Structures are given as C-alpha cells and as structure tokens.
C-alpha cells in the first residue's frame, strides 16, 4: 500500500483515521503537535506514543520536508532562499527585515500560469501547485532563519512569492488554518496578507472563509486597457468593474481594508489620467495604496522605472483624496529578491530549473 503524506491531513481528518485505528482522538492531537510545533521528521521521535503505534504510523504515512537549500543575502539584509521541495523542484522564499518587522514572503505555486508582462516569475511555466505542507514548511524554515539571522521571530507573512495564491485556493486556505491554529503554528491571522492579481470569484470565496487575513491586490493600473496589457488576467476575469465588485464584497464581509499594490512605469501609467483613475478606484472601497518602484530584471528590457516626480504626483493626489499611501522602496533588488524578480534560477546542477515561457522583448505591442 502506498504511504500517505501525513502533513497533508488536517486535525479533523487525522482524528478520524486514529478512530479507525482504534486510537483515542487525543493521540491525533499529539501527532499533530509533533508535526507542526515540534517539527518532528520521523515517527520514532514521537516518544509519547507507543512503539506499536509509531510502527503502524510509519507503515501508513511518510513525513515530507521542504527545506531552504541555498540562501543569498542582499546588502540591505534581505535573504532570498531556494526552497527545495520533496520532488526536487525549486521555488523561492524571501525574508525581509525592516525596523522591528521581519516579513516572510511565501510562494504558493511552482512557476505561474499568469502572464503579467513585468514579472520574472511569469516567464516560468507553472509546473504544479504547492501542497499544504510545502507552504507551511516555508513559514517554519523562515521562522528559524529569522531567529538565527536577526534574533527575532517572524512578525508578518505575505503570500507574494511565486505563483497566484487564489489559483491554489484549497491548499493556501488549509495552510493558513494550520499557520494560525493554536495547535498549529499559532501565528496571528491579522499579520498574514494574501496578495492576488485579482481573481474576483476567488476573492469573494476567500471573504466567506472568515480567516481574518488581509488582502492585497496587484493593481498597477486603474484603466482597463492599460491593466489588461500589463496583466492579461484582467481581461479574462471581467475587468476592473468585476474586480471592484469583488473588493466591495470583501469589505462588506470582512471589514478589512484592501491594499492596492501599484507599480509605476515610465511612459505607461505615470500620467495624470492614470493618477485620476487610481484615486477614483481607491475611493470605491476602503483601501490604502503601496506605490512600488519597478524592479528591472535580466528577463525584461521593455519597462523603465518612473522618475521620482511621477511617484510624488501619485502620492500627492492620493493624500489629497484622503487615501493612505506609502512609497515602498525595493528590498533585495541586488539579489533579484524584490517584487516581480523571483524566477528560481540557480547554477547548482542538483537544483533543477523550472522551464521558462517565451519572453517577449519588443515593447511596441504596448
């Protein structure tokens, strides 16, 4: 009989299995504690279980482990990690220190199925979704790394790494429940942000989960024509009208303010009409805006970073409209760890690369 990944089971499922084995429910909770709080990588280490039960569990299950296999450090202290998954594929995870905050940027897919034209991850073919344990293991590894490098535990988690979290919906939600559960990692839900390119029906579904997490939307343009060129998913999912309706639903259900992530590109979205459109969009639902410097990569030569004057015009207009706005400076840019730069490219032959999609270099189609 093929062994099952025990870390893929939530506590309720585990309790049912233990009942079928003739074991009391509290044994399942003990095992759950060993898996997530004590990080046991073998059943023999679960010393409060009988030897007979440990042997039985070893016959039925296995305990996989994703690990940080390579780490690069930026001059600003940011750490970019190659995460080797149990099947030897690679994703990236980033640890970002900033003041008293240490944020783990977590991946949810191997590669990405979206074709955002400014993002290095979009050049990678989507191989598969990450499993629940592969997502949670990134948090566990990041927690240990934060303590070792910065002497402090994680303060925040953002699903802003490789992949679109809402296209791996079931596993991301299950992982968040483990991360936040008292008998899991017991991490505060309000310190977790799920970032999406904007999948309206999945935003509504997430609002109904009562997870108490925050939502960030990669917007980058509040004019349909521009946004669809930057992010083809916009046209495929009903455009900005559909997105606005989903965000209004999110706020009605959760009372949680939305964050708009907004890259400003030279000669693309740095003019007055785009500024006015963003102000109008941000007024439709309680929100705040993070203006982000564009991070160039070797994969793209079609875009340029907007100048500081354009960023200041955005900030002035948003503040005048009463909208909270922050200018987010790039972190880890020198090691390709900044927003839009994750591409899992490593020279080590033991770390297999994810196949790349075709990259268009001609900017004229914009």
Nearest CA among 350, 335, 251 for reference residue 79: 335
Q: Is 340 left (phi over 0), alpha (psi -120 to 50) or beta?
A: left
The residues carrying an active-site annotation are 92, 339
Q: Report the C-alpha gap between 249 and 241 in whole angstroms.
A: 12
Return the C-alpha torsion angle 123, 127, 131, 137, nearest 10. Answer: -50
First and final C-alpha spacing in the chain: 55
Residues 6+ apart with CB under 8 A from 276: 317
CB 361 within 8 Å of CB 302: yes
Query: In angstroms, what CA-CA distances link 127 with 88, 90, 289, 334, 353?
Result: 12, 10, 32, 27, 11
Burial 227-257 (b: 16+ CB within 10 A, else e): bbbbbbbbeebbbbebbbbbbebbbeebebe
CB 98 within 8 Å of CB 87: no
Q: Report the C-alpha gap between 27 and 64 in whole angstroms.
A: 20
Q: Is 105 left (phi over 0), alpha (psi -120 to 50) or beta?
A: beta
Residues 6+ apart with CB under 8 A from 364: none
The strand pair at 324-328 and 287-293 is best described as: parallel
């Amino acid at each position: 009989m093929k062994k099952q990944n025990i870390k893929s089971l939530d506590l309720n499922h585990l309790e049912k299995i233990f009942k079928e084995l003739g074991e009391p429910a509290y044994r399942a909770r003990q095992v759950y504690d060993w898996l997530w709080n004590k990080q046991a990588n073998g059943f023999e280490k679960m010393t409060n279980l009988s030897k007979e039960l440990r042997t039985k569990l070893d016959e039925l299950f296995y305990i996989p482990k994703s690990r940080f296999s390579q780490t690069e450090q930026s001059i600003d202290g940011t750490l970019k990690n190659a995460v080797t998954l149990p099947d030897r594929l690679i994703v990236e995870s980033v640890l970002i220190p900033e003041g008293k905050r240490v944020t783990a940027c977590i991946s949810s897919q191997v590669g990405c199925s979206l074709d955002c034209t400014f993002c290095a991850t979009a050049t990678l073919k989507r191989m598969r979704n990450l499993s629940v344990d592969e997502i949670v293991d990134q948090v566990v590894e990041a927690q240990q790394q934060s303590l070792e490098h910065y002497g402090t535990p994680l303060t925040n988690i953002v699903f802003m790494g490789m992949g679109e979290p809402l296209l791996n919906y079931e596993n991301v939600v299950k992982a968040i429940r483990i991360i936040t559960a008292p008998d899991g990692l017991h991490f505060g839900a309000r310190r977790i942000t799920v970032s999406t390119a904007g999948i309206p029906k999945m935003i509504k579904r997430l609002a109904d989960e009562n997870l108490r997490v925050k939502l960030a939307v990669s917007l980058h343009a509040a004019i349909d024509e521009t946004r669809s060129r930057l992010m083809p998913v916009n046209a495929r999912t009903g455009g900005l009208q559909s997105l606005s309706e989903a965000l209004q639903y999110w706020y009605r259900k959760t009372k949680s303010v939305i964050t708009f992530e907004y890259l400003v590109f030279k000669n693309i979205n740095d003019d007055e009409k785009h500024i006015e459109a963003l102000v109008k969009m941000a007024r439709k639902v309680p929100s705040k805006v993070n203006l982000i410097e564009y991070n160039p990569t070797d994969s793209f030569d079609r875009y340029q970073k907007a100048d500081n004057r354009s960023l200041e015009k955005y900030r002035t207009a948003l503040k005048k409209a009463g909208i909270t706005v922050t200018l987010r400076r790039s972190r880890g840019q020198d090691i390709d760890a900044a927003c839009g730069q994750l591409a899992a490219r490593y020279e080590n032959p033991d770390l297999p690369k994810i196949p790349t999609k075709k990259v268009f270099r001609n900017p004229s189609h914009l």
